[in-house]
Amino acid sequence: MDKEERSSESGEATELSDSESLKAQLESVKEELTRQTALANDYLDTARRVQAEFENYKKRVAKEKEQIISCANERLLCDILIIYDDLQRALEAKCEADELREGVSKIHTNMAALLEENGIREIPTDGKFDPSCQEALATGEGEDGCILEVYQTGYFLGNKVLRTSKVKVARSE
């Protein structure tokens, strides 16, 4: 065998080994791609499950919130019905004006206690005008910013203004 034949055979062998090496690499890449695709699909399934669970959680929390509000309203309304019954009895009673006034005063005391139990308190109106919780309906003469008259009492529920006070405010000219 001469040199050319040997180099030709050796070139063919090298090409075969390169080809086999490339095929092996291709198979390895295909296996890795298959593994990564399966992993990506698994992550996607997990993400979809988590998203569905979160949606269910939000629905459940909203339903629970509705139930809590409903129960709170039910309790409050039951308490109000007691006071309503007292008012009904006062209207039906055949009594003198002083007795009626005394009865209505007791009903008022009961109502004030109920409001206090539920976190409602009056907005103070003894002092300077506060636009965050008071509404000026009129002005009059006096020390600037002082409340002269209260037309309607305002209330807080906790720290939130439930209803503003309607007041007359002094304004120096």
Phi-psi region for residue 142, left (φ > 0), alpha (ψ -120 to 50) or beta? left
* The CATH number, out of the four listed (1.10.3720, 3.90.20, 1.20.1060, 3.30.750), of the domain defined by the range 1-118: 3.90.20
Q: How many whole angstroms separate alpha carbon 109 and alpha carbon 71?
A: 25
What predicted TM-score, i.e. pTM, was given to this entire model?
Answer: 0.59
Tens of pLDDT, residues 65-85: 999 988 888 988 999 999 999
Domain 121-173 carries which CATH code? 2.30.22.10
Mean pLDDT of 146-161: 94
Tens of pLDDT, residues 30-62: 999 999 999 999 999 999 999 999 999 999 999
Does 13 have pLDDT greater than 70?
no
* Domains of the chain by residue range: 1-118, 121-173
The length of the chain in residues reads 173
